[in-house]
Amino acid sequence: MSSIVEIKNLSVRYGATIALQNISCQIEQGDFVGLVGPNGGGKTTLAKTILGLLPPHEGKIALFGQDSREFDEWQKIGYLPQKHTSINPLFPASVGEVVSLGLLSAKKRPKNITTADWQEIDALLKDMGIFDLKSKLISQVSGGQQQKVMLARALISKPEILILDEPSTALDPNSREQFFARLEKLNKEAKTTIILITHDTGYIGQYANKLLYIDRKLVFFGNISEFCPKGKDIASCFEKKDGHIIWHQHS
Amino acid sequence: MEIIQILQYSFIQKAFIAGSFVAIACATLGIFLVLRKMSLIGDGLSHVSFGAIALGLFFGFYPFYIAVPLVALASIAILKISEKARVYGDAAIGIVSAVGIAGGVILASLSKGFNVDLFGYLFGNILAISASEAVLSVILSFVVISVVAFFYWDLFSATFDEEYAKTTGVKTNFINALLTVLTAITVVLSVKVVGIMLVSALLILPAITALQVSKNFKTALVLGGLFALFSVLLGIILSYILDLPAGATIVMLNALFFALAFVWKKIG
């Protein structure tokens, strides 16, 4: 197994405020990592630092063996940010155009979305059951549909790593099940490495093989079975280890 | 008077050609600026162009040769002030804009000779555009439109979601600077078409009209360009026939197009 995300002694600061301190872990190809921690514990900060959006204050991150500051194969990493509450209602972007933005990292200038690209976008939208939304304005589809569109945008480049930041909050229970079934399929069949930020410990117990638990510092990193013995309710393991955090399990 | 006859005048032809290119450049950039909530940068930079034109007149240079680089520098200053001095973008625009106007007023006061020329730029007059100004306007507008076409997907991505754009390798700082400098060049060119006081209207109105009726981003860009183009062509003809100021007529037509698009959207 090869390490495709290697984090060494990582510290991140916002001005004088320490957001992450001395985090180290190695994520292997094909891992499904549940990234958990309390609000303000640094989960999104860690994801953004992996994605190159925030600079490390100390330590370093290697992606596919390359220092993240020199890494330029961003098409290998798909990102689904937290729910898009901030989509500008005036923005005249169609769903198809938004999904096509996920292809830009693999393009050389002058960038162009080709007929073959549009065929791939059509196929993905059909596979995700949202092809009928392709020509609609992104601002005019529901929050749950927007979330599916953003997942399509993250998947269209066929990434080797998928980073998802609380992806299921806007989804109804049925869509949520379909969403996680798709992630499981990607992880098991395409060997896509998944880093899932969530407060839903139930999904972690069901799908993740590793747990990255941070509260500004590293609390735990390793196999789920080391954190919580098989057969035991994972929510109770969190409660035992960190009683002040309200963890919940999906129904 | 017949339209065909009007179109045979060389000053009308020059106004048509230069005005068309400048209008399309304005509308194209305007879409990005409006969606980024940077609409007023056009207003701020037009005020800087007042100071820059005054500087050119003061030293006896052709004003646009001074204005293009100076306003481009001012646009970079706006970005740097908001980045480095931890000042909001609109406040940074306010600072640079005020310095531009104040500089222009001081130079006008010191010279005591070119006030008439300088204040002529406040309201523009595309019907008085010279052949060299028309050529300069066409070349620079073509450059602006070509650069936007070349960086289209990066501009679109950075405007839709800057953070996500960064994760796909888009150099958003470069794209932001590029958009601002292109806006500076276009603002200077627009001064001749509608005047310093109305430049921001040429950037904002065709863009928001297109945004009322567009179902995707490319359509918005095309429609914005078409609204701007028709407003300039029709505005030039109407202003000649009715003996009205061309710049103000163009802006009023744009306002009319916006009102029609708004009503069409509401009843459509």
Among the partner-chain residues A91, A135, A137, the one whose CB lies closest to the CB of B35 is A91
Q: What pLDDT is stored for residue A242 in this prediction? A: 55
In a domain, A119, yes or no: no
User: Angle, nearest 10°, between helix axes B199-213 and B41-59?
Assistant: 150
Q: Of the ranges A140-144, A187-191, B107-111, B117-121, which is most confident?
A: A187-191
Report which residue type is found at A146.
Q
DSSP A94: B
Residue B5 at interface with chain A, using a CB cutoff of 8 Å:
no
Q: Provide the pLDDT confidence category of residue A249 given band limits of 50, 70 and 90.
A: very low
In a domain, A25, yes or no: yes
In a domain, A200, yes or no: yes
Mutate to test the interface with B, among A45, A80, A94 (most CBs of B within 10 A): A94
Residue B18 at interface with chain A, using a CB cutoff of 8 Å:
no
Q: Provide the pLDDT confidence category of residue A250 given band limits of 50, 70 and 90.
A: very low
In a domain, A113, yes or no: no
Domain that residue A170 falls in: 3-93+159-241
Contact across the interface for B149 and A110, Cβ inside 8 Å? yes
Task: Return d(Cα B155, Cα B222) in angstroms, integer.
Answer: 15
Q: Looking at CA atoms only, how far is residue A94 from chain B in angstroms? A: 5
In a domain, B199, yes or no: yes
Contact across the interface for B168 and A98, Cβ inside 8 Å? no
Q: Provide the pLDDT confidence category of residue A2 given band limits of 50, 70 and 90.
A: low
User: Number of A:B CB contacts under 8 A?
Assistant: 82
The DSSP-derived string for B50-78 is HHHHHHHHHHTS-HHHHHHHHHHHHHHHH
Q: Which CATH number fits the domain that encloses residue A176?
A: 3.40.50.300
Contact across the interface for B168 and A96, Cβ inside 8 Å? no
- Residues of A near B (Cβ–Cβ under 8 Å) read 51-53, 72, 74-75, 77, 79, 81, 84, 88, 90-94, 96-98, 101-102, 104-105, 107, 109-113, 135, 137, 153
Mutate to test the interface with A, among B28, B145, B155, B168 (most CBs of A within 10 A): B168
pLDDT at A86 over 80: no
Q: What pLDDT is stored for residue B142 in this prediction? A: 96
Contact across the interface for A72 and B169, Cβ inside 8 Å? yes
ipTM of the complex, rounded to two decimals = 0.88
In a domain, A135, yes or no: no
In a domain, B29, yes or no: yes
Q: What's the count of helices (H) and strands (E) in chain B, helices before strands?
A: 13, 0
Task: Return d(Cα B15, Cα B13) in angstroms, integer.
Answer: 5
In a domain, A72, yes or no: yes
Domain that residue B57 falls in: 3-262
Task: Return d(Cα A64, Cα A6) in angstroms, integer.
Answer: 8
Task: Return d(Cα B255, Cα B242) in angstroms, integer.
Answer: 18
Q: Looking at CA atoms only, how far is residue A237 from chain B in angstroms? A: 35
Q: How many domains does chain A have?
A: 1
Report which residue type is found at A235.
A
Q: Looking at CA atoms only, how far is residue B126 from chain A in angstroms? A: 32
**Residue found by looking up tokens 């888009």 in the block:** B170
Q: Which CATH number fits the domain that encloses residue B144?
A: 1.10.3470.10
In a domain, B268, yes or no: no
Cα A42 to its chain centre, rounded Å, is 14
Q: How many domains does chain B have?
A: 1
Q: Looking at CA atoms only, how far is residue A103 from chain B in angstroms? A: 8
Contact across the interface for A111 and B153, Cβ inside 8 Å? yes
Q: Looking at CA atoms only, how far is residue B153 from chain A in angstroms? A: 6
In a domain, B245, yes or no: yes
Q: Per-residue pLDDT tens, chain B, 268 aa: give them.
A: 678 888 899 999 999 999 999 999 999 999 999 999 899 999 999 999 999 999 998 888 888 889 999 999 999 999 998 888 778 888 999 999 999 999 999 998 888 767 767 778 888 889 889 999 899 999 999 999 999 999 999 999 999 999 999 999 999 999 999 999 999 999 999 998 889 888 989 999 999 999 999 999 999 999 999 999 999 999 999 999 999 999 999 999 999 999 999 999 988 7
Tokens of B96: 């640079």
Contact across the interface for B167 and A91, Cβ inside 8 Å? no
Q: What pLDDT is stored for residue B122 in this prediction? A: 87
Residue B154 at interface with chain A, using a CB cutoff of 8 Å:
yes
Q: What pLDDT is stored for residue B145 in this prediction? A: 96
In a domain, B267, yes or no: no
Contact across the interface for B168 and A74, Cβ inside 8 Å? yes
Tell me the mean pLDDT in the region A42-61: 95
Q: Looking at CA atoms only, how far is residue B165 from chain A in angstroms? A: 8
Tens-place pLDDT, residues A96-126: 999 999 999 888 888 999 999 999 999 999 9
Cβ contacts of A11 within 8 Å, gap of 6 or more = A18, A20, A21, A22, A23, A56, A57, A58, A59
Q: What pLDDT is stored for residue A184 in this prediction? A: 93
Contact across the interface for B160 and A53, Cβ inside 8 Å? no
